[in-house]
A and B are shown apart, each in its own frame.
Chain A
Amino acid sequence: EAQVTQNPRYLITVTGKKLTVTCSQNMNHEYMSWYRQDPGLGLRQIYYSMNVEVTDKGDVPEGYKVSRKEKRNFPLILESPSPNQTSLYFCASSDGTGYEQYFGPGTRLTVT
């Protein structure tokens, strides 16, 4: 089954404690992206990757890091999380044209 998986689905952490949210896709897609969803703001892009070892900033990259060492994986790293990063995070992938994106189920992060 074609899918995008994210782990963990729920995470509660404290300010400053480094964390990683994993994202993996099994569709051999070149393009992957991370979004955060906040009430009233829709989805905002954090980072995206057009292919292995190629990443670029989206609209709200501050406080986040990503890496793309393998085509299927695109982890999101918060080196020093802060409460304003409490949000619902989605990973997505597409075949590279940017048209239809396939979304993961989301990760709800709470930073206290």
Chain B
Amino acid sequence: GDSVTQMEGPVTLSEEAFLTINCTYTATGYPSLFWYVQYPGEGLQLLLKATKADDKGSNKGFEATYRKETTSFHLEKGSVQVSDSAVYFCALVYSSASKIIFGSGTRLSIRP
């Protein structure tokens, strides 16, 4: 069945460091891919998305490219800030389906 696998956390970085959070997926069709972010005490918010292979999603300095050949959608940011501390979820969804499959989440902590 379809699934999403994220790198285990927690990930702790210093401010201005480069960030990569790995995400790989298994899918029987051609899903859209998403990154959601959950700040402390809040619900999830859409961070970025890509709807087809080779698309790049970007928002707030974060980027992720839909790589069909490696079934990956890694999240990157060139210089993280303390305010980026949150839990990040990779997810996939089909346009014809009614459900979204989430990864287990990666907790990111940024030290000043």
Q: How far, in Å, is B106 (CB) from chain A's closest CB?
A: 10
Decide if B100 touches A106 in the complex (CB within 8 Å).
no
**Stretch from B14-22, B69-77, B78-86, B90-98 at the A interface:** B90-98
Question: What sequence of 0s and 1s flags, for each residue 44-64 of chain A, a beta carbon within 8 Å of any chain B beta carbon?
Answer: 110010100000101100000
Decide if A101 touches B98 in the complex (CB within 8 Å).
no
The residue on B at minimum CB distance from A31 is: B98
Decide if A42 touches B49 in the complex (CB within 8 Å).
no
Decide if A97 touches B49 in the complex (CB within 8 Å).
no
Number of interface residues of A (CB under 8 A): 26
Interface size classification for chain B:
20 to 34
Decide if A42 touches B104 in the complex (CB within 8 Å).
yes
Assuming the contacts A90-B44, A99-B93, asked whether A58 and B103 have C-beta atoms less than 8 A apart, the reply is: no
Decide if A98 touches B97 in the complex (CB within 8 Å).
yes
Cβ of B32 under 8 Å from chain A: yes
A41 to B95, CA, bound (A): 24
Decide if B100 touches A103 in the complex (CB within 8 Å).
no
A contact residues vs B (CB 8 Å cutoff):
4, 31, 33, 35, 40-45, 48, 50, 56, 58-59, 90, 92, 97-101, 103-106
